[in-house]
Amino acid sequence: MYDVVIIGSGASGGAVAYTLCKTGYKVAVLEKGRLIRRDEFSKDELAYCRRDLVTPNLFDEYHTIEEKVDGKWVATPTYESGWSFWNGNIVGGSSNLMSGMLHRLHPDDFRLKSKYGEIEGANVVDWPISYEDLEPYYDLTEELVGVSGHYEKHQYEPPRSRAQFTQPPTKENAVVKLLDKSCQKLGIKSLVTPRAVLSRDKGDRNACYYSNFCGSYGCSSGAKSSSREALIKPALATGNLTLLTNTHVKYLHSESKDAVKYAMAVDTVTGKERRIEGKMFVVAAQAHESSRLLLNSANKYHPHGLANTSGEVGKNLIFSGGGSGQGELHKDSLKDIKFEDLMTTGLFVNRSILDWYFVDDWWDGKFKGGSVEFMFEHQNVITRARKNNYKEGKLLWGKELGEHVVKRMTEQKSIRFEIFNDWLPNDDCFVSLDPTHKDKYGMPVGKLRVEGHPQDVKVGKYIAKKCEKILEEMGAKNIYSSVSSAPPQNLVAGGCRFGNDPKTSVLNKYCQAHDVPNLFVADASFMPTGGSVAYTWTIYANAFRVADHIVSVLRTVA
Amino acid sequence: MIKRRHFLILGSILGLSPYVYAKTDDSFERAFKKIEPTLKAVQAHMFPQGSKLPSADAMHVTQFVYETMQHPSFDRDIKAFVIEGAEEFMQRTKGKFLSMTTAEKEKALRAYEETNYGSSWLERIMTLTMEGMFSDPIYGANIKEAGWKSIDSYGGFPRPSTKYMGR
């Protein structure tokens, strides 16, 4: 029997495993995917970005996505739509494939209801912990997992216990001169993006080598601060971690109301089932799958699903609100920088804007806003070559296609922005079990209803307009933005809210199930509200905090 | 949300091709062989010689389409659609596409593009052809990086040492 069994090896599973193994506990990490080692990663666009090779085949494992069509809820299996909600099922999870643009939450994100009051149609609540409770763990993540950057004082930058980042920012493309100058002219403050990519060597991890293909790909130098590189590898080195790959957990078995006894796992290659016993269980399967696992673990002791006395498991699922926009910087109209410097590949844009994190506008009013990241269009060659090859609605081909593609690829570069704002939790965004669809292991698939709140789109559009002005000032052409209520499937949280009241939350403030003391949920499921930044830094930090509590509980039991 | 399966399969006038019901690789091979000359000619029309991009004929893109569709990671609905869309196009052109002049081919393809189904099929063929031409040379259709060189855009390092991550 293991001291702790962790389901999932991504950011949260890795952080819990690292802490426990370093403390001396025997841990099993059950990972559904396989291990891809650093030296096995390549920049193979076809394999990583255009085929399901790091995620399950959608005909084997899928979700059903429920959207409102003509006033009725319609569920579509993802094998029909091709809209995959898997995000990297390999050791280290989706942290292997992230772009790594990270921010901490703001202190007010922990008390959104107190700060902004009720919003009609949204289930906003304050968190049971404060920024001060999480700050030491943000700091730990920054140093241990590795976040490079440069701190500059800004009214919406949260306070830090460490004056400056230990790793300086990654190298930047000359376009930042143009971007900074344009922002300055508009009275906007551009900040250096904290990035989960090492700019200097750290232990056996080598600094970034600026491959030009970062997001969506595994890192071949170890610079990207994935759970696999930063946490699972050192946890394995302690000798206390048993890493079970190709091991999918179908359900957690309990023989009483207050404890999980074992995880029923299936070998994804052989199909053989086995029971894996532990004193404690930590679910870290990514938010929508963690809720599904608890719901699939229903039995006579837990008729509505494990840890679901409150009926809240799966409720208040959140994504990230916002959208994105883009503009083209053309060779013949480029300002301030040389075209060949713009076209230099591999270097980061590394700029964020927090000016609209909280908005108090004379016309639009006072509301919670969001953050913005600037970046180049993803450099994938096939994707870039294939897009926008139309003329008057007809597909271009022949010599005309050649002229068009070569000109676009060699005489311009697209710069884009991504907006992150709160996805307000609401009654029409949740995960439940699909009553008919089952995966290849015979378990009901997760049915996700993914409706956003109208406020999310309003905020996104407000910020998009501001960003379009920046692109205009930069001299970009063909500027457009797209803000919608469609959920970004890689930015998912909620479903197992933490809180002080067992009637309205699934987990206590340590992410321990109110109902089942030997069960924790360590991934982003706990978040009652999501803040207006990508979740990853908060996931790492909170999982370290949860791990410290698990250690204290294990010590008490001993 | 578009329901892909319905759109791709039920959208065809011909209905389900025998290949869709068949389960063995042999049947795919047979079905592909039948449509291969037409597919090759369509790709050649899209990527002719004398363009700023490499020609389809020089880059072995038809072979790429055949191989990539046989990999288990390829979507089975799209695999059927590629075959069936070609069959329908062959039927529409009464098997004469190969012997048409360039102008006649253009007219036939643009006519097919007028239908939602034909437009979708041509989009798919364009995507598959570009996947071959601009993917890593290991996949066999970006010969000597000619695709990358033509647009001065290259894949990153390390390059793959096996196709499809060795899966």
The pLDDT-based confidence of B22 (bands split at 50, 70, 90) is low
Mean pLDDT computed over A181-208: 98
Tell me: the pLDDT tens digits for A376-405?
999 999 999 999 999 999 999 999 999 999
Mean pLDDT computed over A4-22: 98
Tell me: the pLDDT tens digits for A484-535?
999 999 999 999 999 999 999 999 999 999 999 999 999 999 999 999 999 9
The structure tokens listed for A430 are 């949740």
Handedness of CA A163, A169, A174, A179 (dihedral sign): negative
Q: Collect all residues of chain B within an 8 Å Cβ-Cβ radius of residue A385.
A: 130, 133-134, 151, 153
DSSP state letters, B38-95: HHHHHHHHHS-TTSSSPPHHHHTHHHHHHHHHHSTTS-HHHHHHHHHHHHHHHHHTTT
CB contact (8 A) between residue B134 and residue A382: yes
| Distance (Å, whole) CA B3 – CA A81 | 5
The structure tokens listed for B46 are 């899209």
Reported ipTM: 0.94
The β-bridge partners of A197 are A224
Tell me: the pLDDT tens digits for B50-83?
999 999 999 999 999 999 999 999 999 999 999 9
H or E segment to which residue A418 belongs: strand A412-422
The label of the residue with tokens 């009241």 reads A501
Q: Does the structure show a pLDDT above 80 at A546?
A: yes
The pLDDT-based confidence of B2 (bands split at 50, 70, 90) is very low
The β-bridge partners of A429 are A450
Q: Does the structure show a pLDDT above 60 at B17?
A: no
Query: What pLDDT does B24 receive?
Result: 63
Cβ of residue A395 closer than 8 Å to a chain B Cβ = yes
Q: In terms of CA atoms, which chain B residue is nearest residue A396?
A: B46
CB contact (8 A) between residue B4 and residue A80: yes
Cα distances (angstroms) measured from residue A422 to each of A486, A492, A534, B9:
13, 12, 10, 39
Q: In terms of CA atoms, which chain A residue is nearest residue B54?
A: A402
- Residue of B52, B75, B130 lying closest to A403 (CB–CB): B52
Tell me: the pLDDT tens digits for B91-106?
999 999 999 999 999 9
Mean pLDDT computed over A432-442: 97
Tell me: the pLDDT tens digits for A39-70?
999 999 999 999 999 999 999 999 999 998 89
Distance of CA B39 to the CA centre of its chain: 7
The pLDDT-based confidence of B131 (bands split at 50, 70, 90) is very high
The structure tokens listed for A15 are 């952080």
Q: What are phi and psi of A555, to 5 degrees?
A: -65, -40
| Distance (Å, whole) CA A280 – CA A175 | 50
Cα distances (angstroms) measured from residue A131 to each of A108, A142, A469, A508, B139:
8, 15, 33, 17, 50
For residue A96, the one-letter residue type is N
Residue pair A514/A309 in contact (Cβ under 8 Å)? The answer is yes
Cβ of residue A386 closer than 8 Å to a chain B Cβ = yes
CB contact (8 A) between residue A76 and residue B3: yes
For residue B127, the one-letter residue type is T
Q: Collect all residues of chain A within an 8 Å Cβ-Cβ radius of residue B74.
A: 51
DSSP state letters, A327-396: EEEEGGG--SS-HHHHT--S-B--EEE-TTSEEEETTTEEEE-EEEEEEEPP--HHHHHHTT-EETTEE-
The pLDDT-based confidence of B11 (bands split at 50, 70, 90) is low
Mean pLDDT computed over A304-323: 97
In residues, how long is chain B?
Answer: 167
Tell me: the pLDDT tens digits for A324-372?
999 999 999 999 999 999 999 999 999 999 999 999 999 988 999 999 9
- Residue of A42, A54, A395 lying closest to B158 (CB–CB): A42
The structure tokens listed for B3 are 């329901």
| Distance (Å, whole) CA B43 – CA B29 | 19
Query: What pLDDT does A557 receive?
Result: 79
Q: Does the structure show a pLDDT above 80 at B9?
A: no
The pLDDT-based confidence of A549 (bands split at 50, 70, 90) is very high
Residue pair A42/A552 in contact (Cβ under 8 Å)? The answer is no
The β-bridge partners of A254 are A260
Query: What pLDDT does B26 receive?
Result: 83
Query: What pLDDT does B1 receive?
Result: 41
Q: Which of B76, B78, B139, B153 to mutate to test the interface with A (most CBs of A within 10 A)?
A: B153
The pLDDT-based confidence of B18 (bands split at 50, 70, 90) is low
Query: What pLDDT does B129 receive?
Result: 98
Q: Collect all residues of chain B within an 8 Å Cβ-Cβ radius of residue A38.
A: none
HSE, CB side, 13 Å, CA atoms: give it for residue A331: 8
Mean pLDDT of chain A: 97
Radius of gyration of chain B (CA): 16
Q: Does the structure show a pLDDT above 80 at B13?
A: no
The label of the residue with tokens 């069509």 reads A69
Query: b or e along A119-132 (b: 16 or more beta carbons within 10 Å of the residue's beta carbon)?
Result: beebbbbbbbeebe
Q: In terms of CA atoms, which chain A residue is nearest residue B9?
A: A80
